[in-house]
Structure 1
Amino acid sequence: MNKKQFDRMKNGKGFIAALDQSGGSTPKALLNYGITEDKYSNDEEMFNLVHEMRKRIITNEAFTSDRILAAILFKVTMNSKVDNKFTGDYLWEEKGIVPFLKIDEGLDELKDGVQLMKPFKHIDELLKNAKERNIFGTKMRSVIKELNEKSIEKVVDQQFEYAKKISDAGFVPIIEPEVDIHAKDKAEIEEVLKKYLIEGLKNLEKENYVMFKLTLPEKENLYEDLYNFSQTIRVVALSGGYSRDEANKKLRKNKSVIASYSRALTEGLNVNQTDEEFTKILDESIEKNYSASVEK
């Protein structure tokens, strides 16, 4: 593990840029960027286009370590290059930004109010690839839609089971059990989720460090207790369907939580913008997310 990167993630000021749209979410990300589906005819062309979008963001003068701690990448992005360097190396060596990798293989079907992660069929291969690309940590996402305690426990158990394996391989995993912002019993779900996250931390070895990426809670500072455990490096927030302004309004009410946004980071960016227009909008977005993360 890179100790400078570890210290930055634990103590640095800023937020995490989520640039990890995968196969299922990439068409929507491109559409929001102004690229319609008729502009590509297969996955290779689609991923090339989204890499160009991400490259435009990463290389922009507004995208710096002054406000951005880390960036989460998709496998294709990790194995692609920016200015003749693999993306993770470019982020760290040129920008001072810590690289993470989205590692899950998608969501299972909705069952008993939750979507577990599909079994990780290629985890060993992917972790080996990530080590070759100098990746610091990983991210994996489940979804909770209903108040079903046994199902929520399953979600957390699965997350911690993989987190232990990932940590033992030398990475810092981000555990992301997203709570659907439209869930009828969202506040109650979050209380149950917190209970099982704490149980998971109690059963984790001292050397197994983790981060949590969580939906902004109904109760302010709900997840503050996760910091009572030395294994917790950071608690970060996903926007989860909230607009950037709404997400940041909620984020400001949670004193030890920083942003980890995807759509709420790239909101307003368009392929047809001039470099000056693109920089202005990206800079404004970064500043809003940064200030909401650090000014509590």
Structure 2
Amino acid sequence: MNPTLSRFGNRAKREVIHRFPPATWYADARRAARVERHRPLLPPLEAAQRAQVRLLQEHGLVGAPWHHLGLPGTHDLQDLLLQLAGVLADRSPGGSHSVLLGRDETLEDIRLWQWGLQPEVLDLVENHLGVPVRYFGPLVHREVADGRVVDTRQWHRDIEDLRMLKVLVYLDDVEEDGGPFTYVPRRTSAAAARELRYVGGFVGDARFSEVVPPSLWRPVTGPRWTAAMPDTARIFHRAAPPIARDRYSVTFTWMTRHPLATIRSAPWRPDQVRRCVAGLDARQRTALPVSMRVS
């Protein structure tokens, strides 16, 4: 499908759901029914992870050092991620505000891609979403310190689903002038969405500050390996424009298997799929994107 038509279709679908009350009730009822059916099947969590899910439901974000989230394999990836950050540092931005690693580069050491498919990670995400999980892998990126307020450096909510989860990990120290992930807590975000009649797209600082005063904007700052775990579908957020130095990070993404919008990506080659699925069990394979066509 043509990307422009796909974006138009996604936007139109959300417009109908949000502007037409019967469609809103129908979408909410379908999701509630799926959550209720799946409730007895939710995997059990340790006390610390149960507390994280409660914080996500209440505030829309959990922040902590990555290794304090209680998820395995974080230390094992640190040297690899620093190497990948070095690759990005040596790459010319070519006038772009953001530099991304390609898919093949993130698959060279498959531990990085498969981190988000570990049983403990899937258990946590599934308990937050309330239904089975779809995993979209990691994105290693560099935000260039050019001060430009463009794209995701503006206020928005992710429109692909009603609930999502991301884990964003800083690969260098990030202060307020270094482009921190900045968000507004869930209840304030919900009120802002109603006042803005928000369906999708970006909101500039001037307009957003009329609805949510800057005193309520919360930047996530901290040393290397600081992690933010937000539900980006339920909270307004942005990557603040870095000014003093480039920001390096990795972001892992999960959502439900019945999203509101289609996520487009480059086609997967058979050799890439083989690398990703090596050693995975049935649950992990069913969490992969449909575009990977894993049986």
TM-score by length of 1: 0.27
Structure possessing the higher relative contact order (Cα contacts under 8 Å, 6 or more residues apart): 2
TM-score by length of 2: 0.27
